[in-house]
């Protein structure tokens, strides 16, 4: 399977990062979103991030213009039907993802590979709603995409070997490392990471430690680059809660029960960095713990 033109659904934090690394690796990228404003913002952000990489000597100056020249945008999802590979990077809600694939299906080339950047939802179930479950895979990038080296490759029950091999080659061409995961809730990274974050929230909820002491303990005591509550704010508390719910529902084990305090923060709309408040308040010059 020759993959040259890649469609990216969603121009948010993950979508623009995915477009960035594919364009830099020489692929033609067609990005779509529901608003022109989101697309314009994404293109500006990608250009700024590429320029930053060039200023640090990570890439050559001429690579910035070349990569930007490979990125185009459209408001029509149907336009992505003529790409060789589609990467869905929309909101982490199954109903939204299913609707995207259903709307896209009538416009697809017969050999187009479909993938989802989902961090937790069943690949088998998403694939079963399409006309090509054998050409469907989980393609989970880590955030921030240009920096993080890992890509989880998740096969659904019907995914065929040529599709897996084609995506493995793509990951190598991107200069990243592929980790193969089975199609169980939250795969590998989030199956391990999210319960740790959830336990950190329980530690706060039960008064064992403050936001500051919990984060400092993991940074200095376990050599983590970022504390678990700081990391939760970076990821988005709504995303953390959604993944914990997928784990709890999918594995039916009480150890995955989301902490009530995590639910409370999400109900308050305090979702972390993206809303300026989460376990820290980001509205001042330096982040201040909110508990």
The H-or-E segment that residue 164 falls in is helix 161-173
Write out the two tokens for 143. Answer: 């955030």
Q: What is the pLDDT of residues 155-190, one digit of tens each?
A: 999 999 999 999 999 999 999 999 999 999 999 999
Last residue of a domain, one of 145, 160, 182: 182
Q: Indicate if 55 and 131 belong to the same structural domain.
A: yes
**Of 120, 190, 198, 230, which one is the catalytic site residue?**
190
Is 1 annotated as belonging to a binding site?
A: no
Q: Reduced to 3 states, what is the DSSP secondary structure of residue 244?
A: helix
Please give the C-alpha separations between residue 17 and each of 10, 87, 168, 171, 197, in angstroms, as whole numbers.
10, 12, 19, 14, 24
Same domain, 169 and 25: yes
> Is 10 annotated as contributing to ligand binding?
yes
Among the residues of 174-271, which ranges form H helices?
Answer: 189-205, 211-221, 228-235, 237-251, 260-268
Asked whether 6 and 89 are in contact (CB, 8 A), the reply is: no
Query: Quick one: 48 and 27 in the same domain?
Result: yes
Residues of the chain with pLDDT under 70: 1
Contact 167, 113 (CB under 8 A): yes
- 16 a catalytic residue: no
51 shares a domain with 12? yes
Q: Is 16 annotated as a binding residue?
A: no
190 given a catalytic annotation:
yes
Same domain, 177 and 220: no
In this predicted model, what pLDDT tens digit does every residue of 218-250 receive, in sequence order?
999 999 999 999 999 999 999 999 999 999 999
Query: Is 238 known as a binding-site position?
Result: no
DSSP 82-137: GSSEEEE---S-HHHHHHHHHHHGGG--TT-EEEE--SSS-HHHHHHTSS-GGGEE
Dihedral sign, Cα of residue 165, residue 18, residue 151, residue 27:
positive
Residues 171, 197: one domain? no
**Token representation of residue 10:** 């969603």
Residues 16 and 142 in one domain: yes
Predicted pLDDT at 246: 92
**Do 207 and 63 share a structural domain?**
no
Q: Which of 137, 153, 182 is the last residue in one of the domains?
A: 182
Catalytic entry in 49, 88, 117, 152: 152
Query: How many domains is the chain built from?
Result: 2
**Among 49, 116, 119, 122, which one carries the catalytic annotation?**
119
Residue 207 assigned to a binding site:
no
**Which of 123, 156, 182 represents a domain boundary (last residue)?**
182
Pair (204, 265) in one structural domain: yes
- Tell whether 11 is in a known binding site: yes
**CATH number of domain containing 25:** 3.40.50.720
Give how far Cα 225 sits from Cα of 99, 272, 275, Å.
37, 18, 23
Cβ atoms 215, 230 nearer than 8 A: yes
Tell me which of 49, 140, 198, 230 is the catalytic residue.
Answer: 140
Residues 215 and 168 grouped into a single domain: no
Could you tell me the CA-to-CA distances from 192 to 135, 197, 198 in Å, in that order?
28, 9, 11
Do residue 34 and residue 165 come from a single domain?
yes
Question: Structure pTM?
Answer: 0.91
Q: Which long-range contacts (CB under 8 A, 24 or more apart) does 184-187 make?
A: 184/250, 184/251, 185/120, 185/122, 185/246, 185/247, 185/249, 185/250, 185/251, 186/119, 186/120, 186/243, 186/246, 186/247, 186/250, 187/119, 187/120, 187/138, 187/140, 187/152, 187/154
Task: Give yes or no: residues 43 and 133 share one domain.
Answer: yes
Contact 12, 41 (CB under 8 A): no
- Residue 33 labeled ligand binder: yes
Q: Is 152 marked active-site?
A: yes
What is d(CA 5, CA 221) in angstroms, rounded to the nearest whole number? Answer: 46
Secondary structure letter of residue 272 according to DSSP:
B
Residue 78 DSSP class: G
- Which domain does 54 fall in, by range? 5-182
- Residue 41 annotated as binding? no
- For residue 270, what is the domain's CATH number? 1.10.1040.10
- 172 belongs to the catalytic site: no
Say if residue 186 carries a ligand binding annotation.
no
Ligand-binding annotation for 173, yes or no, is no
């Amino acid at each position: 399977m020759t993959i040259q033109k890649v469609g990216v659904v969603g121009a948010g934090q993950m979508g623009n990062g995915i477009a960035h690394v594919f364009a830099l690796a020489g692929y033609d990228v067609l990005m779509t979103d529901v608003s022109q404003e989101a697309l314009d913002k994404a293109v500006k952000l990608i250009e700024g991030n590429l320029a930053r990489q060039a200023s640090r000597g990570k890439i050559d100056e001429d690579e910035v213009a070349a990569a930007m020249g490979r990125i185009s945008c459209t408001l029509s999802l149907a336009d992505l039907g003529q790409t060789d590979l589609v990467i869905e990077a929309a909101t982490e809600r199954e109903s939204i993802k299913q609707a995207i694939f259903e709307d896209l299906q009538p416009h697809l080339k017969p050999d187009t590979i479909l993938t989802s950047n989902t961090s937790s939802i069943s690949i088998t179930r998403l694939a079963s709603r399409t006309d090509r479950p054998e050409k469907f895979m989980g393609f989970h990038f880590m955030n921030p995409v240009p920096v993080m080296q890992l890509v989880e490759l998740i096969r659904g029950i019907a995914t065929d070997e040529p599709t897996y091999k084609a995506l493995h080659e793509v990951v190598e061409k991107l200069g990243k490392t592929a980790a193969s995961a089975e199609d169980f809730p939250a795969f590998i990274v989030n199956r391990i990471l999210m319960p740790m974050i959830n336990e950190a929230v329980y530690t706060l909820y039960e008064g064992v430690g403050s936001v500051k002491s919990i984060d400092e303990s993991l940074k200095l005591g376990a050599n983590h680059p970022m504390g678990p509550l700081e990391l939760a704010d970076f990821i988005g508390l709504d995303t953390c809660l959604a993944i914990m719910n997928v784990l709890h529902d999918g594995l039916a084990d009480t150890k995955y029960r989301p902490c009530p305090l995590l639910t409370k923060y999400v109900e308050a709309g305090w979702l972390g960095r993206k809303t300026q408040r989460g376990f820290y308040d980001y509205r001042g010059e330096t982040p201040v713990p909110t508990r």
